[in-house]
Chains A and B, each alone.
Chain A
Amino acid sequence: MAKPMKVRARNADGVTDVRILMRHDMESGQRKNSDGDIIPAHHIQNVTVRHQQKVVLFAQWGPAVSKNPYLAFKFEGGTPGDPIEVTWVDNKGDSRTDETMIK
């Protein structure tokens, strides 16, 4: 059900630059539907990024992160061909894992 992420990882000068685009409504819990009822919050809570089993970034998110979230960060090391694995879990228990290889 959860839609795939786009994950890009590129190594230059010993530093790997990771860019992730996720697809998620990130419903804020502040909006109302046409009947005036509040639409319940639905958002990613945790993001874990791993390089060869090692966690290189762990995030906690609230509903204030934008719809279809973007996340970019850098870590030292990483070799072209190494796998990068990204997992998110939302507040309804949905999750999604996608993988890419460092270029």
Chain B
Amino acid sequence: MDLERRTFVRTAGSAGILAFLVARGFLTVGDARADLWNKPAFDAESLEDAIDILVNSPAAESPEVVIVAPEIAENGAVVPVGVVAKLDGVESIAILCEKNPHPLAAIYEIPPGTLADVKTRVKMAETSHVVVLVKAGGRIHMARKEIKVTRGGCGG
């Protein structure tokens, strides 16, 4: 009885509704990117591969990027890692654990007005470097810090 109308509603589809909401200002750009997840980078099995996928320009080590983390982590399942970048125009921050089965742990996008100062807790399989990449003003800045892990956080 109501079939024609139903078909129309279905064809109008979620894409149309999403576009409408964005146009009306109900959603911000962040929503349109809600499924954004860099699968190839998270699937990479070596630090080099993950970095290659994340950045296409060489990364220079920078004293302006500071990793705030303990030198020894007793429990590899919960390693606090903070990143502070004393740089202008930071766009994104990536945190990688060198010897994890999949090194990339997290990517943060930093909109204008948000400080380049984030803290998370990550799992580390074994003692290795934590590597941080910061994109600022179109350039890639890098820092690394070795964290000794007494008990790994990935097996079980």
**What number of A-B contacts does a CB cutoff of 8 Å give?**
120
Assembly CA distance A45 to B37 (angstroms): 7
In the complex, per-residue mask of A74-93: 1 if CB is within 8 Å of any chain B CB, else 0: 11110000000000010000
- A60, B102: Cα distance in complex, Å: 14
A12 at interface (Cβ–Cβ under 8 A)? no
Contact of A30 (CB < 8 Å), options: B35, B121, B155: B155
**Which residues of A lie under 8 Å from residue B34 when comparing CB positions?**
46, 48, 89
Q: For the complex, give the distance between the alpha carbons of A15 and B154 in Å.
A: 36
Q: How large is the interface on B (under 10, 10 to 19, 20 to 34, 35 or more residues)?
A: 35 or more
CB contact list, B18-68 vs A, under 8 A: 28-31, 33-38, 42
Q: How many residues of chain A have a CB within 8 Å of chain B?
A: 34
A-side contacts of B117, CB under 8 Å: 73-74
Q: Is there an interface contact between B120 and A71, defined as CB atoms closer than 8 Å? A: yes
User: Nearest Cβ distance between residue A40 and chain B, in whole angstroms?
Assistant: 14
| Ranked 4 nearest A-B pairs via Cβ | A55-B30, A31-B156, A64-B105, A66-B121
Interface residues, chain B, CB within 8 Å of chain A?
28-31, 33-38, 42, 77-80, 82, 97, 100-111, 113-115, 117-124, 153-156
